[in-house]
A and B are shown apart, each in its own frame.
Chain A
Amino acid sequence: DSGVTQTPKHLITATGQRVTLRCSPRSGDLSVYWYQQSLDQGLQFLIQYYNGEERAKGNILERFSAQQFPDLHSELNLSSLELGDSALYFCASSDSGGEVDTQYFGPGTRLTVL
């Protein structure tokens, strides 16, 4: 158990809908990262937050957005969902978001868009 928690574990929804995925980092970690893992695209970095501020953006679609709250938990919002958004979404955390930090991954949220 990495200490990173994610809810929900599974989510099934329809195209066009909006969902919110939640992540709580390890105690004391200030950085949160979001990743998407799909069979055809592999593991893709979406976005990083550090202590409430956006630090880096990866391959995140405009339909997706995220935020990190004062208590350091983070939410990833996915809107206008498409079939291709079906994937495993991971949150990871690290203590400072520095150059050497190891990222610790949560159990993931499996999103199925029908």
Chain B
Amino acid sequence: ELKVEQNPLFLSMQEGKNYTIYCNYSTTSDRLYWYRQDPGKSLESLFVLLSNGAVKQEGRLMASLDTKARLSTLHITAAVHDLSATYFCAVATRDSNYQLIWGAGTKLIIKP
């Protein structure tokens, strides 16, 4: 069974600091997605990572994928309050018939 684990599940940090959210998955993956969800709101697509070594950046967020380690990271640089949200990773594999298997989410709170 494909499992996707995120850690930490909760993170409180100060503005201006850097931090990393980790997403581990249990089997070979063909692609990995990062989404953001604000409280009570919908999910917004952030990144799609398709190959080993893929790195994508948007503003203060950078995502990377290591398929050999079955690990993706979402790095936050010089955090600002607007980045407070819950971040989900999701993995699609042949084993899941390419349906997305979701991590539990990381709730990120950034304090001024």
Residues of A within 8 A of B (CB): 2, 42-45, 48, 56, 58, 90, 92, 99-100, 102-108
Contacts and interface: CB of A to CB of B under 8 A. Distances in A.
Given A48-B99, A56-B99, A102 B45 contact: yes
Interface stretch (B19-27, B36-44, B64-72): B36-44
A44 B105 CA distance: 12
Contacts of A48: 99
Interface in B66-112: 88, 92, 97-102, 104-105
Contact of A106 (B33, B42, B105): B42
Name which of A43, A44, A48, A107 has the most chain B CB atoms within 10 A of its CB: A43
Nearest to B45: A102
B50 interface: yes
B42 A105 contact: yes
B48 interface: yes
Given A42-B105, A99-B30, A58 B45 contact: no
